[in-house]
Structure 1
Amino acid sequence: MRTEGDQQEESVEQLQAKTTDDIVSQVNKITKTADKVQRAAEFFLNKSPNKQLSGAEIYHNFSSLYNTPPITENTFRQYLSNLSGISSNPISRVPGRHKYTISDTKSIARELADEVSVSAGEISEPLTPEDKKRVAREEALYEMLVNWVETNNYQADDISSRRKNEKWGNPDVLGVRLLPTLDGHRVELLSIEAKPSPSDWRLFFFEAVSHKRFCDRVYFCYATDEDPSKIDPDFRYYSELFGVGVLLMVFEPEAYKKYWDIGEIDPEAVSVVEKYNAPPNTPPDELKYRFLSNLDLGDIKKICLFGHNSS
């Protein structure tokens, strides 16, 4: 049963604080300490020019609004640290620095979705010859990626053509693993979003990020003929900030030229390199079940039959 306090708190969440008076008013109406810290941290991070502050800086700004702060510094910073560890929370740590930042990856993904260029299986207009080549290049990557996922102890398959979920809800390759628990099994999902080159990778990276809402581990992958050590250094920042692994399909130069020209791959001339590992994620069971159900994998028997060459 929803209480008046719950309704009041929900109404507070629907308001965006614009001034320090607003944030004080909102925090005072919130009952849960975690929600107070969340609201205050979001406010001060958004006010910061680069949206980065240390825990001490956030608390200093917060406590300066009160004669007697309602939360001690130690408690505030402990809650802030815990909140930043939740994958779905917009507050996260800045890799390599003792600071926090804020990034609403869901809104970023929504904004970018309308800008994404042709992607296999999500094309609503007739394909141009160049579109067809792009799709063929992408599809040629899937078999080797399926094999790579299988070597990591998952049942795996190319699901790029199924496209039964909403936009940006359809990975190219899916891995499924059943893990025993005390009361049955837990389904673990791994997804890969693959591209034929690093071109516009900052845009397409968020297609992979969007899969975190239903997958336990998520990778972004692209094909290249460059040395893995020469990868754009921003990949590490994006990988750590958004919790997405990075795979490289590294071709020998001549093999990459052939792949680019006609969309064919010589497996002997390509290696899959895990540049950055995909950290574990904890998606809501409801979204994971909905995703699997849309793929007709809504029960354990069907999951057990899922795998390479499944239809």
Structure 2
Amino acid sequence: MDLINQIIARAKADRQRIVLPEGTEERTLKAADRVIADAVADVILIGNRAEIMALAEKNGLNNIGKAVIVDPKNHEKKEEYANLLFELRKKKGMTVEQAAKIVEDPLFLACLMIKSGDADGEVAGAMNTTGNVLRAAFQIVKTAPGVSVVSGAFLMFVPNKEYGENGIMVFADCAVLPNPNAEELAQIAVSTGHTTRTIAGFEPRIAMLSFSTKGSAKHEMVDKVVEATRIAKEMDPSLQIEGELQADAAIVPSVGESKAPGSSIAGHANVLVFPSLETGNISYKLVQRLGGAEAIGPILQGIAAPVNDLSRGCSVDDIYKMIAITANQAIGIKSK
């Protein structure tokens, strides 16, 4: 797949430090071994060194010794990170004693490494829930400037190359925020546009989806999308954004011309922003299963530094790709 190869090549050209807090999880170790062998990123593994090396030997992994291994219970920066955590959370009632204990949690430790500038991004979730992965990220890394919403985008590779950008589309939000208001939906649109530029490498043509096209239906749910479109255009005038559009008006040229004549995006959208998590999640799974598309994600967006969450059913290949994507996000943030 050309885009994935491009993402990997970009990561190789500007190697980032990616921390993997699930350092004793076997799929994660296998992916890390491949990443190190291919020089896709500099890998930081969190876990007991003896346990990690024993698992590496058991699985015939020859490159794990080249990773930086940080034992969460005993490492040289433990006190420094505990003090940082205390300073970040003391207004929420955290004590020094609590910080000293929480800093041993690999998910919190990974985020503290990012906050301290000792890592550029994180990939986790092979053995932790989304809630746990995001909790640490929200409390420590926090959201990007001007953004209050974290959302999840999927790269969709559809068999019919007539759709999107030669068969590549970006869907959001399909993973995080159940029912965004207009302001939040606008932020999702803008974040997805930036993700598209950084990861997919093409200029986004963003369709704000609804069950109405340009006033064909009247409802408060339609009003939300119309208002979100207006706000998103103000937030980032450099992005091409159109709404409200029905799905067929967004991606089928003849329908787009009929329902939204004169629009440069209708019928040609390569980014679809859904009005709710319910619609986004259902849609990407239907396109994946019925349409034979490959879905890669969720790529979390809106966080100040890249923290990505895996499905607990993920494969070694999924983790490998997500490490490369996370590196691309880190490169994009540094280039702003």
TM-score (norm 1): 0.28
Computing the radius of gyration from Cα coordinates, the structure with the larger value is 1
The higher relative CO (CA closer than 8 Å, separation ≥ 6) is in: 2
Q: TM-score, normalised by structure 2?
A: 0.26
